[in-house]
Amino acid sequence: MKVGFYPGCSMKGGAREYQESVSALAKVFDIELVEIPDWNCCGATAAHNLNKELSLSLPARIMALAEREGISDIVVPCAACYNRLSIVKHELEADKSLSKRVASIIDLKYEGTTQILNIIQFIDKYITDRLEEKVVKPFDYKTACYYGCLLVRPHSILKFDRVEDPQSMDVLVKKAGGDAIDWAYKTECCGAGMSVSRTDTVARLSGNIMKDAVDRAAEVVVVACPMCHSNLDMRRPEINKFLNEKIDIPILYISQVLGLAVGLDAKTLGLNRHMTEVNLPVKPAMEVPVASEPKKVVNTQKLEA
Amino acid sequence: MSASHEHTHPDTLNDEIRRETGVIVNKCYQCGKCSAGCPVATEMEYPPSLVMRMLQTEDPLHVEKLLKSMTIWLCVTCEMCLTRCPMEIDIPSLMDFMRQKSYRAKKTNPQAKKIISFHKSFLDSINYTGRLYEMGLIVDYKMRTGAMMQDVAVAPKMFIKGKLNPVPEFIKGRKKIAAIFNKVQDKKEGKL
Ligand code: SF4
Ligand code: SF4
Ligand code: SF4
Ligand code: SF4
């Protein structure tokens, strides 16, 4: 199975472990990820803040290159890139003359035929059916699934998951053997690209997110975006200073969680690259095969007694 | 009817907003849900619902205040306001529009310098290499703002963890990218 792959800049640098874990996971399920040749940056926040045509042209070039390769599905694991590509595809679809103008700016044919998939849509389309049978080490942790903004908003364009209490990632975590907890900050903003220019804002917003997660006994927070990851992980010293607390639970990518569950090792998944050390305790469930897990039986006996 | 009359009156800012972003300013009925959900409202001089109200007045003084505000640069495009607005008013696109207008008219708030410098360093990196080069971005941003100490603390750890590339990756089509930058820049308004 071949699927187009747009890593985006952060997966080549600060979020290297996201790429490592997505690639490793795809391999387990025999999916070949084909990187879009000579892809460019999508322009992110900087482009749409300063220049509209630029913010349309950079993502359009990426999709045009994919079309030229005959790629129909592009998986875009960075939520920020996913959001930009999806919005541009939508805007060019709605306005044919704008689409023509952009095609002339990028000097490539642009039809808008590629499907843009975020990491969860990709997993659901290509992996979920075969996931449970491959789980050998259930991810038995209280897990807070953090979706952030760009994966679910704006709903009118992305039409992905529910905006206030999305479930798609929770379902995946449960299939991986985890306990996806209910919490209040699933889609609150972490401060986005303000990490360098307004660190205090990021510390406050990300701090509130982390506080709610630990108050509800989360042992780990799971994300699907390198920007969310770096704000919650790399900015932890600033977060802890803001909260005047010492929160040390790790932030994992959803691809790392599923990777661990199907038996990939920590190094392959790049767990060593996080700033907040990942030292999750080994749980009994991880040592016994899933089928003969005794826990539920014990519980019913207790209830009956 | 008076169609000809409608087309002769001059294009107001609110007309331009409607054309460029689809936002009909007068649809806002000031419920305040946008400001309640906005993660940075507490840091803004004018929370999103007040921005809407100020535009509704069509008072040039209010428009001037908005163009020179920090508010428009503090908005992180989280899309919460649009998601919760009962009238589906696209405030994030409106904020983009106001930022671009403020930037072109050289009216940006002096305190927004750090944010804008960051955007510019970011775009420079793309213009030059085709991609974002994180280490170059940080160095370029520091040069622009003089904020030398901040962030130096995490850089060595990032490097050890293999998160910072010592050399940029240049894409083959970077001339094509430079051509895109050229085409989208308005000659009169100068470089991005
Ligand atoms: S959003 Fe970030 S990672 Fe994605 S392409 Fe743009 S700059 Fe690169
Ligand atoms: S939560 Fe933060 S990084 Fe994540 S999508 Fe929102 S703004 Fe982006
Ligand atoms: S939520 Fe919508 S209608 Fe309510 S104040 Fe904000 S913009 Fe106006
Ligand atoms: S998009 Fe901007 S104005 Fe709207 S809620 Fe987010 S930060 Fe506030």
Q: What is the pLDDT of residues A4-40, one digit of tens each?
A: 999 998 888 788 999 999 999 999 999 999 999 999 9
Give span(s): CATH 1.10.1060.10, chain B: 3-107
Q: Is the CB of B24 under 6 A from ligand 3?
A: no
CATH class assigned to A2-119: mainly alpha
Band of residue A304 on the pLDDT scale cut at 50, 70, 90: very low
Mean predicted lDDT score pLDDT of chain A: 92
Provide the percentage of residues in chain B whose pLDDT is more than 70.
80
Query: What ipTM was reported for this prediction?
Result: 0.85
> Is residue A132 within a helix (H) or strand (E), and if so which, with residue range?
helix A128-134
> How sure is the predictor about B115, in pLDDT bands with cuts at 50, 70 and 90?
confident
Residue A206's contacts (CB-CB under 8 Å, 6 or more residues apart) are A190, A191, A231, A232, A235, A239
pLDDT digits (tens, 9 = 90+) for A99-126: 999 999 999 999 999 999 999 999 999 9
Residue A193 token pair: 């690209």
Nearest chain A residue to B152 by CA distance is: A196
**How many beta carbons lie within 10 A of that of residue A56, not counting itself?**
26
Sheet holding A32-35, edge to edge: A32-35, A2-5, A73-75, A115-117
Mean pLDDT computed over every residue of chain B? 86
Of the candidates A188, A251, A191, A264, the residue with the CA atom closest to the CA atom of residue A224: A251
Q: Which residues of B touch A15 (CB under 8 A)?
A: 163
Q: Which atom of ligand 3 is nearest to the CA of B35?
A: 6
Cβ contact A46–B181 (<8 Å)? no
* Closest ligand 4 atom number to CA of residue B74: 7
CATH number of B3-107: 1.10.1060.10
Best residue for ligand 2 mutational test, from A222, A231, A233, A234 (most atoms within 8 Å of Cβ): A231
Topology match between the domains A2-119 and A130-287? no
What are the boundaries of each domain within chain A?
2-119, 130-287
Give tens-digit pLDDT for A161-201.
999 999 999 999 999 999 999 999 999 999 977 877 889 99
- pLDDT-based confidence at residue B7 (cuts at 50, 70, 90): low
- Would you say the pTM of this structure is higher than 0.80? yes
A130-287 fold: Rossmann fold (3.40.50)
* Band of residue A293 on the pLDDT scale cut at 50, 70, 90: low
| Ligand 4, residues at Cβ distance < 6 Å | B 37-40, 48, 75-81, 91-92, 95
